[in-house]
A = this chain, B = another copy of it.
C-alpha cells in the first residue's frame, strides 16, 4: 500500500518533470515548488492547485483507458494535464464550472495525446505538449460565448464580439423539445422540429441505435448549452445539436459496436463535440462563417485516432460503410 502510494507520487512528480522532458521525480518536485511559490507570489493560488488537479486527473485517465503503463510510469500521462491545470485558472474566473471543465479537459489530453502520437508515429515525431495546447485553445475560445465561463485573464479580442448578451432562452418543456428536435434537423441545415421527427423516424427505420444516439446527443448537447449559458439564439435554433448528433451516431454505433463501454466513450465524444462547436463558432466570427459540420469531423477524428478497442472486435474504421452496407 505504502509502496503503491510511493509509486503513485513518483508517477505524478515525473509528470511534472516531463513538461521539460525530465523523467525525474525530484525535478518534478522542484517544478511544483516553483509553481506554488510563483502562484502565491502572484496572488493566484488557484493556479498551483489547478496544476495538482490537472496532473492527477490526466494521469488517472491513462489508467482508466488502460494505456501502456510504461508511459504512465514515466509521467507521460501527466505533463499535458499539469499544464491544463496551470492555464485554466490563469485565464478563467475561479468558479466550480471552471474546475469541472479543468478536470475534464485534463483527462481529454491523455487520449488526445494517444491519437496525435499515432498520427505522428510514421515520421518519428511526438505530439509534445500539443494535446495541452490544442484542448486549452478549444476551451478558451469557448469562454468567449459561455456566459458561465469568464475569461478574466485573457487579453481583449480585436475581432470577436464580446458585447455582454444576458443569457435567456425559454426553458419550458415544450420549447426544450423543439430545440432538441431542431438539433437533429440542423444536420441538413434545416431549422424545423417537424423535420427533426422525419430524420429520427428515418434513422429508426434503418437502425434503432442510430435513432437513439441521435436523440441522446441532441439532448446532451442541449443540456450542456444551458449549463454553460451558450449563445441563446443558437441554442434555440438547435445549432449546438447537429454536430453532436453526427458524433453520437458515428462513435456510438457506427465505428464501434454497441456496448456499455463504447456508450461511455460516445457520451464523452458528444460532450467534446459540444465544446468544439462553441470553439469553432468563435473561431469563425471574424469572417462571419458557419462551422457547418466541422466540429463533428474534428472531434470524431480525435476519438477514433487513439484506436482504442473497447470490445473484442476491432472496428476497421476505414471500412465503416461496407460493414453497414444493406
Q: Tell me the A residues contacting B by CB distance below 8 Å.
A: 17-24, 26-31, 33-35, 37-39, 41-42, 47, 51, 70-71, 74, 76, 82-83, 86-87, 90-91, 117-130, 132-133, 136-137, 140-141, 144, 151, 154-161, 185, 187-192, 194-199, 201-203, 205-207, 210, 214, 245-246, 249-250, 254, 282-283, 285-290, 292-294, 296-297, 300-301, 304-305, 307, 316-318, 320-322, 324-326
Distance between A270 CB and nearest chain B CB, rounded to angstroms: 15
Distance between A161 CB and nearest chain B CB, rounded to angstroms: 6
Picked from B28, B42, B70, B199, the residue with its CB within 8 Å of the CB of A34 is: B199
- Chain A contact residues, majority secondary structure: helix
Q: Cβ of B38 and Cβ of A317 under 8 Å apart? A: no
When C-beta atoms are compared, the residue in chain B nearest to A186 turns out to be B38
Q: Cβ of A118 and Cβ of B123 under 8 Å apart? A: yes
Picked from B91, B202, B297, the residue with its CB within 8 Å of the CB of A129 is: B297
Distance between A137 CB and nearest chain B CB, rounded to angstroms: 7
CA–CA, A34 to B294, complex, Å? 22
Chain B neighbourhood of A151, CB < 8 A: 288
Chain B neighbourhood of A202, CB < 8 A: 17, 22, 26-31, 34
Q: Cβ of A23 and Cβ of B321 under 8 Å apart? A: yes
Q: Cβ of A206 and Cβ of B129 under 8 Å apart? A: no
Distance between A188 CB and nearest chain B CB, rounded to angstroms: 5
Chain B neighbourhood of A41, CB < 8 A: 192, 194-195
Chain B neighbourhood of A201, CB < 8 A: 30
Q: Cβ of B22 and Cβ of A206 under 8 Å apart? A: yes
Q: Cβ of A250 and Cβ of B21 under 8 Å apart? A: yes
Q: Cβ of B158 and Cβ of A285 under 8 Å apart? A: yes
Distance between A160 CB and nearest chain B CB, rounded to angstroms: 6
Chain B neighbourhood of A205, CB < 8 A: 24, 26-27, 30
Q: Cβ of A126 and Cβ of B317 under 8 Å apart? A: yes
Distance between A89 CB and nearest chain B CB, rounded to angstroms: 9
CA–CA, A110 to B107, complex, Å? 37
Picked from B123, B140, B318, the residue with its CB within 8 Å of the CB of A290 is: B140
Distance between A152 CB and nearest chain B CB, rounded to angstroms: 12
CA–CA, A161 to B287, complex, Å? 9
New A-B pairs, 14, CB < 8 Å, besides A20-B245, A38-B190 = A17-B206, A21-B250, A22-B203, A31-B202, A34-B197, A34-B199, A34-B202, A38-B185, A42-B191, A124-B307, A124-B316, A130-B297, A159-B159, A160-B288
Chain B neighbourhood of A90, CB < 8 A: 189
CA–CA, A202 to B130, complex, Å? 23
Q: Cβ of B47 and Cβ of A189 under 8 Å apart? A: yes
Q: Cβ of B157 and Cβ of A288 under 8 Å apart? A: yes
Sorted nearest first, the 10 A-B pairs with minimum C-beta distance are A30-B202, A34-B198, A157-B288, A38-B190, A38-B195, A38-B192, A159-B159, A159-B286, A24-B206, A34-B195
